[in-house]
Amino acid sequence: MQLPDDFLVKMKDLLNEEFEPFITTYNDKQTNGLRLNTLKIKKEDFLNLTSFALKQIPWVDVGFYYNHEERPGKHPYHEAGLYYIQEPSAMAVVEVMTPQPGEKILDLSAAPGGKTTHIAQYMKQQGLLVANDIHPSRARILSQNVERMGIRNAVVTNETPERLAKRFPSFFDRILVDAPCSGEGMFRKNPLACDEWSLNYVEACARRQKNILDQACQMLKTEGQLVYSTCTFSPEENEQLINQFVKDHPNFEIERIDVYDQFSSGRSHWVDGPVKGIEHTIRLWPHHIKGEGHFIAVLRKNGAREQHKYKQLRPIKNKNRLKDYLTFAKENLRTIPKGTFILFGDDLYIVPSEMILMDHLKVIRPGWHLGTNKKNRFQPSHALALSLKANEVKHHVNFSSDSHDILAYLKGEAFRVQGENGWNLITVDGYSLGWGKLSNQLMKNHFPKGLRWMS
């Protein structure tokens, strides 16, 4: 592959004798990974179920290398959200972060959602996860991935870091800035990134990253954790940026990270006047591990606790507005989901109880979407289907992943089947895929039109 000349000169100068092993990795194929979604399936259950030839990724218990030819992205299990396709090094970030159930966490530059969906697994549906992306179309894809993975406690926004910082001062326990970067670590995976790259682009990315971090740190509670990551090698976007950040914000310190012994230390000799702990940042190098290039820094905010008043959500008070939902839930679900209900137009959501007022923010998904109020009836959402297990509904129809029926369902076809009239959860090998509505043995297909398989 043709790498930019300036990039080669710079990397040779930085890496010296390490340059040869580094550059040789560009002759290898990119690495492919998938991460199991533990919100839906246990590792041992998936390994019993799947026919994919998987190999363990050493730094992620539920992460696996797969063979590209097997195309797991085109399998019904992918539609069922049993896994997320994610580059193996990218999986290290949330392993380092170790989010906890019940926390308030912000993923500030989150699309398409690799790390958001990984954070959600650690949170086990408890607490608040705000997943944001500045680009509208990318924020929509992020929202779809949150839905596919069956996440109940996420709010998806499409905002600038500045506007979020005004709304959420000192609010979050953890913030992830998986920064937009020059992407040098992904040249093997995405050769188009080479065309965009230049020395000036690296400088521009570093300026943007500084701005994002300056906003992010305002939203973090005292004692909170700020994780910064990139998929690029340039010191300007990594050690130098973090070094300057700590100099500018002396209430932040860099924490030591121990996840996997083949990860390398950040390079203190690539910065002027290294701050304490800069060597605790970590680098993932393609000549040391089976994965692409990545950088991770974990920072802790110190100092006195700040007090802020946040405007509270205004949940539905009038139970009459939940009437159709409750009728649906009693008829179709074994336990009725409860929580803080809000209506966005005719769409009913349960919002994580830790969330504050969302007015005047661009919100794509204000919580767990239950469904839509139609005239005197409630239509359950795809998000509800994908977050339910077969034993949580009264009626379900199961097909095996290699059956013709499952393909017909994913293509949007209606089908004949024996069963109970009304809403049925359609499952693949026991895992939810979407809704169907049965009437006189004909199952009307409610798999969303925009997600249907073409052929």
Ligand X SMILES: C[S@@+](CC[C@H](N)C(=O)[O-])C[C@H]1O[C@@H](n2cnc3c(N)ncnc32)[C@H](O)[C@@H]1O
Which residues are the active-site residues?
A: 231
**Smallest separation, CB 212 to ligand X (Å):** 5
Nearer to ligand X, 134 or 278 (CB): 134
Note if the bond before 72 is cis, omega within 30 degrees: no
Task: Say which residue the tokens 């137009």 belong to.
Answer: 345
The distance of closest approach from Cβ of residue 207 to ligand X in the complex, given in angstroms and rounded to an integer, is 10
Euclidean distance between CA atoms 196 and 10, whole angstroms: 17
Q: Is 161 in the site for ligand X (CB under 6 A)?
A: yes
Nearer CB in complex with ligand X: 231/246: 231
109 is in an annotated binding site: yes
Tell whether 258 is in a known binding site: no
Establish whether 110 is an annotated binding residue.
Answer: yes
Residue of 273, 157, 170, 253 lying closest to 219 (CA atoms): 170
> Quick check: 301 binds ligand X (CB under 6 A)?
no
Interaction between residue 237 and ligand X (CB under 6 A): no
Q: CB 180 → ligand X: shortest distance, Å? A: 4
Shortest spacing between CB 94 and ligand X, in angstroms: 9
Q: Which stretch binds ligand X (CB under 6 A): 74-82, 109-117, 295-303, 414-422?
A: 109-117
Q: Does 4 participate in binding ligand X (rule CB under 6 A)?
A: no
How many residues sit in the footprint of ligand X (CB under 6 A)? 18
Among 114, 266, 291, 434, binds ligand X (CB under 6 A): 114
Cα 72 to its chain centre, rounded Å, is 18
CB distance 336 to 314 below 8 Å: no
Q: Which is nearer to ligand X, 82 or 176 (CB)?
A: 176
Beta bridge partners of 63: 35
Nearer to ligand X, 99 or 114 (CB): 114
286 binds ligand X (CB under 6 A): no
Return d(Cα 217, Cα 5) in angstroms, integer: 36
Which stretch of DSSP H or E encloses residue 78?
A: helix 76-79
- Give the number of other Cβ atoms within 10 Å of residue 309's Cβ: 7
135 sits near ligand X (criterion: CB under 6 A) = yes
* C-alpha angle 268-272-276 in degrees, rounded to nearest 5: 50
- Kindly report the three-state secondary structure assignment for every residue of 189-253: CCCHHHHHCCHHHHHHHHHHHHHHHHHHHHHEEEEEEEEEEECCCCHHHCHHHHHHHHHHCCCEE
Nearest distance from C-beta of residue 237 to ligand X, angstroms? 11
Q: Name which of 72 and 371 has its Cβ closer to ligand X.
A: 72
Question: Site mask, ligand X, residues 65-104, x = CB under 6 A?
Answer: -------------------------x--------------
Task: Indicate which single residue of 112, 277, 291, 367 sits in contact with ligand X (rule: CB under 6 A).
Answer: 112
Q: Is 113 in the site for ligand X (CB under 6 A)?
A: yes
- Alpha carbon 393 to its chain centroid, in Å, reads 27
Q: How far is the CB of 358 from ligand X (least distance, A)?
A: 18
Stretch that binds ligand X, among 35-43, 110-118, 120-128, 293-301 (CB under 6 A): 110-118
From CA 286, how far away is CA 71, in angstroms rounded? 23
The contacts found for 13-16 with CB under 8 angstroms, 24 or more apart, are 14/233, 14/235, 14/270
DSSP-assigned letter for residue 445: E
- Look at the block and give the residue holding tokens 């398409």: 112
With binding defined as CB under 6 A, does residue 371 bind ligand X? no
Annotated binding site for S-adenosyl-L-methionine: 109-115, 133, 178
Binding stretches for ligand X (CB under 6 A): 90, 108-115, 133-135, 138, 161, 178, 180, 208, 212
